[in-house]
Structure 1
């Protein structure tokens, strides 16, 4: 069970809640803060003070004062009018993360909602009811207005939800579960949608997947090193220590551990003096990507515990400040950074694939074919990898450098952070497929070299991977192999290390 406080949520907890569907509660202290914040809103209404979003219009309409009898309708109208998301829905796990992060932000006690709003979000999590939220339509400031409006619709009993593997109308599911829809009151609609939780939820899922993928890339690269009789000297700790990057040193150490005991690797001068960069520079390239992932993690850990709506209520309502915490620029830049970093895992992987299949670059059968000429073997798998890498170059173009003014130029600079996070997710899926292709080729290469000569760790990985993709003894529809191995890498969520391989093989 995870207790939310509004300020202590971790990425590991998000992973357990979103993937393992761990039960969630709200701390009593946080609920008390929510109650106090709500009392402040009620005093503002009673005193007839004019405060943005409570009794005024929104955006360019901020100067329009709303009559007391209409303040609740104002919030409902806001949600319905702003639910303009289009396109395919976010993955369900992202929707779940969005509900979690919006709840965590609101219980900080600066948003002026009633406790019942927080409790309804909690109910969605613990009943595994997840809003259907279209991916496109957010500018990333004033927060993720369109996506979060689709989330807010569900609290009101409107919209659609994911439930037990299917999509249903919200009220259909609420009736099955005995849940009552909520009528929004002053400030609550705005509090629900002013925030960065769409881009941040997508970003957190991106980071979780990218972390696993980066570690898997090291195992697959190690397999390639064996398949190409790579030179282990390039991973000597002295080389990496004198440069000084911790992430580079860590990658080199993990690959040394993975390849420990291998009789397929070579020493410099035995077969060649130096390997190509795609082998020799794995610690430097992968290490640089790990540096970026560390940066992204740091920003996400701040944002998942941040108050990001507007206005924010301080000092029991005596101080209500309109600001811009909903602006997604920190996450936009982090996601753009992630896109470049993760794309590089595929870029260097594709070059290793080329070295595995090109007879001019190795002493293996051309294109790893069982009958070169009659059968093409892995020839077109390299094409597919090259296509995915090229597509990633387009997706990696930074979204955060763009801005289009909105709301009659009141909102004249926006982050495009949700676009950045969506494109990062697309890149991650492409990278996984490229690594799957490298893995298939490397599995075939080590067979030619001799499986009995592999390191214990890579041999354990080989045995598990061969259960998914059989040896290439004749041409077949390799698309199926690529997709099967891609699914295996994703669904198993395995961080392959010397220890995990040993544990897997011994089961």
Structure 2
């Protein structure tokens, strides 16, 4: 059980709710604060100008709203901004958005009626997910369009996702005896004015980025092992003199994964043990950078993951609403806590390092497939007849194309502000765009690493080195071969990529480095 409002929510908490079936509960003390906050605002807002309660919205805030129309204003806001386009976001992203919005409202600074948080909890536990469209939000007054679609579902309108299918919200609520949310004061604005879509998606991105990072360390270690690399480039002695925690962590993980390998070589045994007489060395003195510099390349990825995790966890546990209702100090503060720059920049950083990780995998794959580089394997690790059969040649095109797409997607959305809303929102974050593009980059990364995985298993078959593998690599090889067989003769390989991709998600989620 994940209790919201008691302790700060973490990436691990989101993982448990989204993928491990944990239910959500509301901390009773926090619910009482939500109720106190609502009661205070209801009294305090009488005969005062409070944005979004008795004023118009955005650049129309100069217009007074009569008491008779205030409730209708909230419905108008929700319905008018339910204007998203593109495809509905995936169910895990929708549920993450709902959990993120619930966390914000449970900070008791948004002036909502307690029924709002109770309904969000109930929908999460019933696995009824909001239908939220990809495009629409600019991330300045928060994710207005995406969260409007969430609010639309809460008031019983539009469609919801149930078991992956879109169904009428009205019909689902009627069948399950769910009472739609009523508007008491500012439930429309409080549900929409925030960063919860970009933040929820950001949480999902962090979960899968960690899986992808784990797989990248594993595949990089195995690539070094099969190429009989020297062990000094991932040694403690070399890496501890560079003072970056990520580099040391990656090197340590490689040492752990390969600790009992009989393929990894020690430099003194091969290059320091005798006086060298020859003018040209037949043994490679140093490995290519995609093998030798793995700690220095994946180290920054590790450190960036930690940095982004802190930003997104801080955001999900924050009040990202406007105005902020402070019942303890008995005041209402107007400002810009809904602005998404923190998350937008964090997502851009994350997608950049995920793209670099993908580039590393693509280069390691190229090394494995190019016999002139590795000088150990057949061209394209062909296990059939050279010339007649093509080995893994076709897969490389997919890996290269996908890597190029990631490079293009990694242009920073944080720098792509466009003024809108009658220039009221004159500088915006584009945070939800950044988060969704990061999701795409991570998805693409799994495809490239799946192709590298197939190549590594193929290389093991070619080298017939199973008895000399590290115990981890041997287990990895057997698991991959249980999913897909070796490529002996030419056949369609797209299903192999899909199957290995699923395996990598499991591997990344269950392996702790």
For the aligned pair, the TM-score class normalised by the smaller chain equals: over 0.9
1:126 alignment partner in structure 2: 125
1:295-315 C-alpha deviation (Å, 9 max, x unpaired): 100101101100011111114
Secondary structure class of the residue paired with 1:306: coil
Deviation at 1:316, TM superposition (A): 5.0
Q: 1:368 aligns with which of 378, 381, 403?
A: 381
1:173-226 C-alpha deviation (Å, 9 max, x unpaired): 111211011221321100000000110011000000000110111111222122
Residues 92 and 397 (structure 1 numbering): CA distance in 2 closer, same or farther, change over 3 Å? same
Tell me how far apart the structure 2 counterparts of residues 6 and 63 of structure 1 sit (CA, whole Å).
38
Tell me how far apart the structure 2 counterparts of residues 63 and 351 of structure 1 sit (CA, whole Å).
58
Q: 2:495 aligns with which of 462, 480, 488?
A: 480
Secondary structure class of the residue paired with 2:205: helix
Quick check: 1:398 aligned with 2:412? yes
Secondary structure class of the residue paired with 1:361: helix
Secondary structure class of the residue paired with 2:167: strand
1:152 alignment partner in structure 2: 151
TM-score, normalisation: structure 1? 0.95
TM-score, normalisation: structure 2? 0.94
1:32 alignment partner in structure 2: 32
Deviation at 1:491, TM superposition (A): 5.0
Quick check: 1:423 aligned with 2:422? no
Tell me how far apart the structure 1 counterparts of residues 440 and 115 of structure 2 sit (CA, whole Å).
36
Tell me how far apart the structure 1 counterparts of residues 332 and 224 of structure 2 sit (CA, whole Å).
60
1:471 alignment partner in structure 2: 486
Quick check: 1:71 aligned with 2:67? no
Tell me if structure 2 keeps the 8 A contact 1:143–1:195. yes
Tell me if structure 2 keeps the 8 A contact 1:254–1:497. no
Tell me if structure 2 keeps the 8 A contact 1:7–1:108. no
Tell me if structure 1 keeps the 8 A contact 2:56–2:64. yes
Residues 10 and 494 (structure 1 numbering): CA distance in 2 closer, same or farther, change over 3 Å? closer
Deviation >6 Å, runs of 4+:
none
Q: Number of residue pairs matched?
A: 497
Tell me how far apart the structure 2 counterparts of residues 427 and 182 of structure 1 sit (CA, whole Å).
36
Quick check: 1:412 aligned with 2:411? no
2:278 alignment partner in structure 1: none
For residues 79-478 of structure 1, the aligned pairs below 5 Å read: 79-268=78-267, 269=270, 271-316=283-328, 318-362=330-374, 363-370=376-383, 371-449=385-463, 450-478=465-493
Secondary structure class of the residue paired with 1:467: helix
Tell me how far apart the structure 2 counterparts of residues 454 and 314 of structure 1 sit (CA, whole Å).
62
Tell me if structure 2 keeps the 8 A contact 1:6–1:104. no
Residues 312 and 206 (structure 1 numbering): CA distance in 2 closer, same or farther, change over 3 Å? same
Secondary structure class of the residue paired with 1:475: coil
Deviation at 1:492, TM superposition (A): 5.7
Secondary structure class of the residue paired with 1:143: coil
Deviation at 1:231, TM superposition (A): 2.1
2:276 alignment partner in structure 1: none
Tell me if structure 2 keeps the 8 A contact 1:395–1:427. yes
Q: What are structure 2's unaligned runs of at least 5 residues?
A: 272-282
Tell me how far apart the structure 2 counterparts of residues 448 and 12 of structure 1 sit (CA, whole Å).
40
Q: Aligned Cα RMSD in Å?
A: 1.4
1:78-102 C-alpha deviation (Å, 9 max, x unpaired): 0000111111111101111111111
1:505 alignment partner in structure 2: none
2:275 alignment partner in structure 1: none
Deviation at 1:132, TM superposition (A): 1.1
Deviation at 1:493, TM superposition (A): 4.8
Deviation at 1:468, TM superposition (A): 1.0
Tell which deviates more after alignment, 373-382 or 259-268.
Answer: 259-268
